[in-house]
Amino acid sequence: MNFLVTGGAGFIGSHVCEKLLRDDHRVWALDDLNNFYDPQIKRRNLAEITALGKSFQYVAGDLTDAARVNELFASVRFDQVIHLAARAGVRPSLEQPALYQRVNVEGTVNILEAARKTGVKKITIASSSSVYGVNAKTPFAESDPIFSAVSPYAASKLACEALGHAWHHLYRMDVAMLRFFTVYGPRQRPDLAIHKFTKLIAAGKPIPVFGDGSTARDHTFITDILDGIMACTKREFGFEIFNLGESQVIRLDRLIALIETALGQKAVIDRQPLQPGDVPITFADISKAERLLGYHPQVKAEKGIPLFVEWFRQYH
């Protein structure tokens, strides 16, 4: 099949492209290689994908450029779209809220409309655990109320979910919304905690720790996320939302200890106050994904952190 992967040069997107290519699909990756983090990292990801020698094409383009998006969809008959491209991150969204709405919301409209006009019937879209906000109930289930976003990033992802439902309702498109829970692993973005902490600890520099270390996240290894995404491409749902997490909560201080052990070095802690937009915990109820996708995550943090550190040593 012909797959379009938006954000295909990024962390999750590059792994998705590789997996599709290894399964003998034809893949186009749409990415603008913006400077949210070093574009050279994304170019390296693209080089690794290209080295597979499969049917792969990188397409330079911005989601907000509707003409460019429409041109791409007109040039290739896509069977499915995996829409991962977005401006990511809670804290940066506080500084550039309009940019986040433009890229994440308007960009998603452009993708949905181009897919509709060219007869694409199936699209898988990345959402985020951030849509749950400060949720008093744990673990978080897809049926929980989600009207309490605490950051512009979370609000933009809520909007994307609503848009996905609207296009399903109006045009009968098959839409799966995937709420990712703190994904990590090889190629992880350098601004994310595990990568940032590993790099700083390895260099003997202080790591910024916001709060007392009691905040907790459901850290999910990239191979488990890939399994969930691929399962979505092989089934039809009409419209569904799925949590993709490890269903294992790791406190921040425990996470740091796991990185210290894997590196064989102690961290120097730079204690800072909690940041606006942060939530105290994320914790995925994955029973729906288990039931409908056959999703069964395999890599707990005790295994995943050493795997990431091993990649980090080779990468650097």
Question: Mind listing the pLDDT tens digit for each residue in 44-60?
Answer: 999 999 999 999 999 99
Residue 144 contacts residue 137 (beta carbons within 8 Å) = yes
- pLDDT reported for residue 159: 97
Q: Spot the catalytic one: 58, 100, 132, 153.
A: 153
113 to 66, 89, 222, 242, 311: CA distances (angstroms)? 9, 25, 29, 23, 39
Give a yes or no: residue 263 inside a domain: no
Number of domains in the chain: 1
Residue 43 lies inside a defined structural domain of this protein:
yes
pLDDT at 192: 93
Please tell me the predicted confidence (pLDDT) of residue 58: 98
Q: How far apart are CA 139 and CA 230, in angstroms?
A: 24
Question: Do residues 30 and 72 lie in contact, with contact meaning Cβ atoms separated by under 8 Å?
Answer: yes
Active site residue 184: no
Is pTM beyond 0.85 here? yes
Q: Within a domain: residue 309? A: no
Domain holding 76: CATH number? Answer: 3.40.50.720
Task: Report yes or no on 204 lying in a domain.
Answer: no
Picking from 152, 153, 177, 182, the residue whose alpha carbon sits closest to that of residue 293 is: 177
| Nearest by Cα to 270 from 216, 202, 210 | 210
Q: With respect to residue 310, please indicate whether it lies within any of the assigned structural domains.
A: no
What is the predicted pLDDT for the residue at 279?
83
**What is the span of the domain harbouring residue 147?**
2-183+220-247+283-297
Query: Residue ranges of the chain with pLDDT lower than 70?
Result: none
CA–CA distance from 190 to each of 42, 155, 208 (Å)? 11, 24, 14
Query: Phi, psi (5° rounding) for residue 11?
Result: -60, -65
Which amino acid does the sequence have at 267? A
Per-residue pLDDT, 136: 77
| 96 inside domain | yes
Residue 99 forms part of a structural domain: yes
Give CA–CA dist 257/270, Å, rounded: 15
Neighbours of 20 (CB within 10 A): 27
How many CA atoms lie within 13 Å of 83's alpha carbon, on the beta-carbon side? 33
Quick check: is 54 in a domain? yes
Angle of helix 107-117 relative to helix 152-171, nearest 10 degrees, comes to 20
Three-class SS state of 55? coil
